[in-house]
Chain A
Amino acid sequence: MDNVILIGLAGVLAAAAPVLFAVVGETITERAGVINLSLNGTILLSAMSGFAAAYKTQSLLVGFLVGMLVGAIVAFVVAFGSIALRQSQVAIGFVLALTARDLAYFLGVPYMNVPGPTLPGLPLPLLKDIPVLGTLFFRQNAITYLSFLLILAAWIWLFRTRPGLMLQGVGERPAAAFVRGANVNRLRYLYTIIGGAIAGLAGPAYTLSIKPGWMGTQTGLDGVGWIALAITIFGGWNPWRGALGAYLFALLQWLGLVLQPNLPNIPSQVLQVAPFPLMILTLLLVNVGDAEWVQRWLASMPDKTRRLAVKALRAMRASPPAALGTTFERD
């Protein structure tokens, strides 16, 4: 029994990998002050084209690279539309989310239900034999290992390197970053495209690994991108907290499947979406501290309770990069 649970949890870690790519990619983009709302379309289009490329070339690597390329191209359009042409990031991103999705379904027809290559498991020698941890972490495939590494790498880049500090600065206060020598708009292009490319790994991670193959609208990926956007907020623009969100999401979906037999009255699709109300709830908890009525309510509390409440709210609170969604123009 223990073993079943352990393998299940290892499956959760693997299943979370695509969401994690999307979340980390978006985190990087938004840290630079750009919202890439197209994530849902990016994932579908990269899923289809990554699979198609891998199928045609019989090379998994090409599949993943094509996925990244697709993500980068979509992200470039977001950056170009909002930085150079000064259109609303939300509008461009939303339309692209639909464009990329429809393109995926339209162009994906020839690749529907054909058997393609799938990523083999890659148990790491020695490490795989560690009790518990070995099963959980070291009997995964390459892309799942990459997802582990990515959390760490993104965190180090953001918070421990010089360019990462500048990246934070650009999204936080572009004017101050400019005074410190940053070419704000060039950096925004750069990180939007990099973030998009990372998010573009999510698609092939599904179609070449977690849910192998392309099945058009039956692939069941529609919606993942929107969740990733919400998890980015839940994650407070920090790769670790974002990863936690992605794992929680995958865990809930898994629990839905596992608990299904015990709850015969509830259709499986319902449990599959259980994370969404929870997502709304967490967004509420993350944001509610800033609402005016909460502030007023807090002010009316006795001192001791207030201090506790403020502390609790602050711990959950996630404040976005201050310049998120704004344009920067030098005086």
Chain B
Amino acid sequence: MKKNIWINLGFQAGAFLLALLITTLILIFAGAPPLKAYGSILSGAFGSQKNLIAVLISWSPLLLTTAGVLITFAAGLWNIGIEGQMTLGAIFATWGLRLFQDTNVSPALIIAIGLLFGMAGGALWAALAGALKTFGGVNEIFGGLGLNFVATALTIYLVFGPWKRPGVGSMSGTKPFDEKLWLSTLPGTALSPWGIGLSILAVIVVFILLRGTYFGLKLKAVGKNMRSAFMLGVPTWQYSMFAFLLCGAFAGLAGAIQVEAVYHRLLPNISNGYGFLGLLVAMLINYQAIWVIPIAFFFAALNVGSIQLQIVHKMDSSFAGVLQDLLVLLILLGQGARERLLKKA
């Protein structure tokens, strides 16, 4: 047993080093001095207070999307539609704010309504993917992907159509909301303690849900073997739907926070890949909720740090993505290699 843990750790370290080696080779191939490049990523992420705050800002939505997909993964579902769910969260939050911004409802309440609207929007979009799967036989991967595109189209329609800024619509989004409707942030930054707090809370909720509740246990049973779960008395399709709804609500909250704390308006592409990144984080941590917080932080740091790469070395910031993707890919392949090795031994 103990030996297995070491082998496991060895393979993970090996996968990490191999990913690093490959990205280094890629950097050399692209003509960048690797050490300097890694250095600028580090300083880009942690070099100044401003950078660190940027890391924290992108950490928050990533925590939420990862927490969400941990639930759908537990139920055995591939919720690729999470990008769209986050987008719908942003749209609904904007809608909520717009509905009440000219009334005399207190701003704090409007902000809360916006967040709730966002969660409802995300859940609604997820429910669509869930219903397509449960009642229409459409695989959640394809249903979700299609809905992602529809969500993007909807955003663009709103930004250029009914919600366009006075004058002419533009890719820079709707007219910013009045400052009183902003989620309170640290002075001079877009970092909202509320946003971070809610995101960490979401991770804790998911951790407890999956570890200590009947709901989580039943969800896992459905995810691992639907037939047996049914025979044990679990209402299976209802639990799949619950998983979608919850995940969608988390993603929607992430979208709402982007609107209320970071951009103060609705923009095209507001989900910015956080949903897919959440799927990657979940795979990397082998679906163990306990690792979400540090690994999501690491990924957020890579994302922010690689912007420096773009500024200093004129390299594309997608380098962070390359490193993240390769890491997950090699961890997956390493898992397979390990299982094969242990089986033979």
Mark A residues whose CB is within 8 Å of B.
37, 77, 80-81, 84-87, 90-92, 94-96, 98-99, 101-103, 105-110, 216, 223, 226, 229-230, 233, 265-267, 269-270, 272-274, 276-277, 279-280, 283-284, 287-291, 293
Contact = CB atoms under 8 A, between A and B. Distances in A.
A98 B340 CA distance: 26
Given A86-B336, A226-B145, A273-B152, A284 B30 contact: no
A84 B341 CA distance: 12
A87 B30 CA distance: 31
B194 interface: no
Given A91-B283, A267-B169, A269-B156, A287 B137 contact: yes
Given A102-B318, A103-B26, A284-B132, 5 more contacts: A85-B340, A266-B161, A269-B153, A283-B132, A291-B135
B339 interface: yes
B287 to A, nearest CB: 11
Contacts of B328: 95
B156 A270 contact: yes
A266 B80 CA distance: 27
Interface string B247-283: 0000000000000000000001000000010011001
A106 B146 CA distance: 26
Interface of B: 26, 29-31, 78, 80, 132, 135-139, 141-143, 145-147, 149-150, 152-153, 156-157, 159-161, 169, 268, 276, 279-280, 283, 314-316, 318-319, 321-322, 324-326, 328-329, 332-333, 335-337, 339-340
A288 B30 contact: no
A81 B333 contact: yes
Contact of B161 (A96, A103, A267, A288): A267
8 A-B pairs with least C-beta separation: A85-B336, A102-B321, A287-B137, A99-B325, A267-B160, A105-B318, A273-B153, A276-B149
B150 A277 contact: yes
Nearest to A274: B153
Contact of B30 (A94, A107, A266, A272): A107
B207 to A, nearest CB: 22
A288 B150 contact: no
B280 A95 contact: yes
Nearest to A229: B142
B136 A96 contact: no
A85 B15 CA distance: 14
Contact of B150 (A95, A98, A276): A276
Contacts of A99: 322, 325-326, 329
A134 B263 CA distance: 53
A283 B332 contact: no
Given A81-B332, A288-B137, A279 B146 contact: yes
A96 B321 CA distance: 11
16 contacts: A85-B336, A91-B283, A91-B332, A95-B325, A96-B329, A98-B321, A101-B321, A102-B322, A103-B322, A106-B321, A110-B31, A226-B145, A267-B159, A280-B147, A291-B135, A293-B135
Nearest to A276: B149
Contacts of A107: 26, 29-30
B21 to A, nearest CB: 15
Nearest to A105: B318
A77 B325 CA distance: 14
Contacts of B150: 273, 276-277, 280
Contacts of B322: 99, 102-103, 106
Nearest to B134: A291
Contact of A87 (B146, B319, B321, B336): B336
Contacts of B316: 105-106, 108-109, 216
A324 B147 CA distance: 24
A267 B276 CA distance: 27
Given A269-B153, A283-B138, A94 B279 contact: yes
A84 B336 contact: yes
A85 B138 CA distance: 28
Nearest to B138: A283
B136 A287 contact: yes
A83 to B, nearest CB: 10
A109 B329 contact: no
Contacts of A80: 333
B34 to A, nearest CB: 14
Contacts of A274: 153
Nearest to A226: B145
A265 B161 contact: yes
A287 B134 CA distance: 11
B146 A287 contact: no
Contacts of A109: 30, 314-316
B26 A291 contact: no
A265 B132 CA distance: 30
Contacts of A102: 318-319, 321-322, 324-325
Contact of B280 (A98, A106, A279): A98
Nearest to A283: B138
B336 A276 contact: no
Contacts of B329: 77, 92, 95-96, 99
B319 A106 contact: yes
A223 B80 CA distance: 13
Contact of B142 (A87, A233, A272, A291): A233
Contacts of B161: 265-267
Nearest to A284: B136
B75 to A, nearest CB: 15
B332 A87 contact: yes
Given A280-B147, A283-B146, A290 B336 contact: no
A92 B325 CA distance: 10
A107 B147 CA distance: 30
A86 B340 contact: yes
